[in-house]
A and B are shown apart, each in its own frame.
Chain A
Amino acid sequence: MNRRKFASKLTLATISGVLGTKLVFGNQMPRHYIPLGLQDPDPFKLFQKDSEMVLLNDKPWNMEAQAHLLNDKVTPNKFMFIRNNGQIPEKIEGKSWTLTINGESVKQKKEYSLAELKSKFKNYTYQLTLECGGNGRSEFNPPAKGNQWTIGAVSCANWTGVRLKDVLEDVGIKSDAVYIGYHAADTHLSGDSKKEPISRGVPIEKVMQEETLLAFEMNGKPIPIAHGFPLRLVCGGWPASASGKWIHTISVRNQVHDGAKMGGTSYRVPCETVAPGSKVEDANMCIIESMPVKSLITSPKSGALVKKRNTVTINGHAWAGELQVSKMECSIDFGSTWQTCHLEQPMNRLAWQHFKVAIDFPKKGYYEIWARATDENGKSQPMVLPGWNPKGYLNNACHRIAIKVV
């Protein structure tokens, strides 16, 4: 490719020209380092993802896992889905990063350096399930607009940080606080610097939960850039868009936060259920809060050929947003009969739970294994698609894998 030769011949000055910005400390740039903006867009190398991950979009970057990649109890970075609404910030200086707490409902505006946050407040680590609100969108009929996630936009990593409630207590918030909204360093696709790609938030009740973190580590290491380095708000069990990446400001609001992607059809579903394909007025749309009960068979991979006399062990995870999963079942006959699976307790609240079951097949043939979780309130996953909504959120239909007994 001639283009590569061209890039290698560029001088520092030209690189700055191409990027449209001055490269600070360009003279200290390691000789073999190519700035992010110019790198060969191989997202698997760029974000250290496994080559079996599926790229849905390259501007902005969106990538999902396949079910069999998610077998680990704690999701490693290489199998973690990437969801972006805007462009990943190009220059992030972790050392000089600050977090500002402002808004109508703070007693006074306050700013913390990253080091101050880490040392001033007690650090906590929780394993937290983050699932994209649109996970499963590809199945909706009529189709819903957006990245066509199948089943892989979910992860459950260890997040380390400080409790948001501890920080807000230190700042002092007024009694009229009802919501927080985050502001972050990612940039709008149109290049308009006045526009935020996404600025969402959660009600104050969610903020006050012990597991709601301002996180600076994922799986014991600084958060990878694609997942929000150096600071991410993590609200486990809610649509992952509530867990803002590259956070520099938290606004404490006396009204429901009105940032980008808080209104319209974004991360909202009809308040009252509608027929597939209906047009829904903005006024009749409600913000998604807790994600619904769901599960995933992560082993074996779909498409297994099995000898008749062999028992097959099924492994997977189940989660239920704010709730715990109380029962897990599998079926090999399209839901006519169900076999109860062994279900582990979660590592902590809002972490997914692992399940396991040994299955014997009565005779040769094509089978589908269906998995169905039930939450502590007795709600189970539907076997067909749940309620249609304009943007195709909250598809928690049973996960299925195909097996042939030969």
Chain B
Amino acid sequence: MSEQAVRAIVPIIPLILIFGCVGTAFATHDWDVQATLVGEQPFEALGRLVPAESNVDGEVLEFTDFQLADNGTKLMLEVTLHSPVNVPVTIKELSTEFALAGSTVTLRLPQEVEVPAQGSASLTLAGSLPEMQDTLTVPPLETFAFRGMKLTLDVYGIQLKLEESGQGGAR
């Protein structure tokens, strides 16, 4: 091969390789520009996080039970969380409060809870009742009006804090 031919061919080969690959990309996707450029839409990947058919029939947060503990000085509220999303979620903080016989009772999640992807987790919120309330009869759960709910979720290191304000109390 003559030197002139080598001089001509050497710089062309990388261009042939790169443009050949670009051409192949379009050819293997039926010359559809969108399919070649984007492939699977990123939004579809995001969509898989919240499936169209969720296995959660009822509410995401379900208050199941409450009980008095420590001789009636502590209130324990049982909550079941049904995760509608396809990723594991950690509940870093959950607290809520309600008014009871003129006092505000704050219920908190004592420790972080991990909720599996599309799974359920049982949460126990605990809060101290005012001392003077030792003879108090706690009204039924349905009559509680929770307020000031604070929720901190951690999804893959992304923290979402939700804070609710409003009035509430035991009716």
**A and B found bound together:** no
B residues bordering A, Cβ < 8 Å?
A: none
